[in-house]
Amino acid sequence: MATLAELNLPTRLFLQAYPWRRIDPVPWAPLRRPLAESRFALVTSAGFVLPGQERFSAELRGGDVSFREIPADADLSSLVETHRSQSFDHTGIRSDPNLALPLDRCRELVAAGRIGELNHRHLSFMGSITAPGRLVRDTAPEAARRLAGDGVEAALLVPV
């Protein structure tokens, strides 16, 4: 993660003036079963898409609040990172998508019996949403409904 001093002047000024949203209380739910017996999903804000999926738009004012489904059997090397922010070095997640969507690591955890099973789909959002109203009101509840409908009992949120 970059320090403010490492960013260009427009980005520093934007981040210093940005009205960061505070959510209190933070919504959460306790596990009902141990992770070793639970269905697990990943949710990333890396802006990953699969070949053939529509890319996230960098042009939408306030950010693209849509999401893409990533199948559990996806080849991570095929993912395309479309994150719009220039506030971080994209080299790492482009060379190893597990940094932002640790699907291979989760497959290993399933094999080791640490988590019960992986959901058949995982979700990719675009980070850097500067106007999150539609995300909070519409998109996030829809994403949660889909995962709950799949029987997901735990999700790892991977912010980028």
Give 101-147 pLDDT, tens digit per residue. 999 999 999 999 999 999 999 999 998 888 888 999 999 999 999 99
pTM given for the model: 0.87
Q: Mind spelling out the 3-state secondary structure of 27-71?
A: CCCCCCCCHHHCEEEEEECECEECCCCCCCCCCCCCCCCCEEEEE
Instruction: State the average pLDDT over residues 6-15.
Output: 84
Query: How do the domains of the chain map onto residue ranges?
Result: 30-158
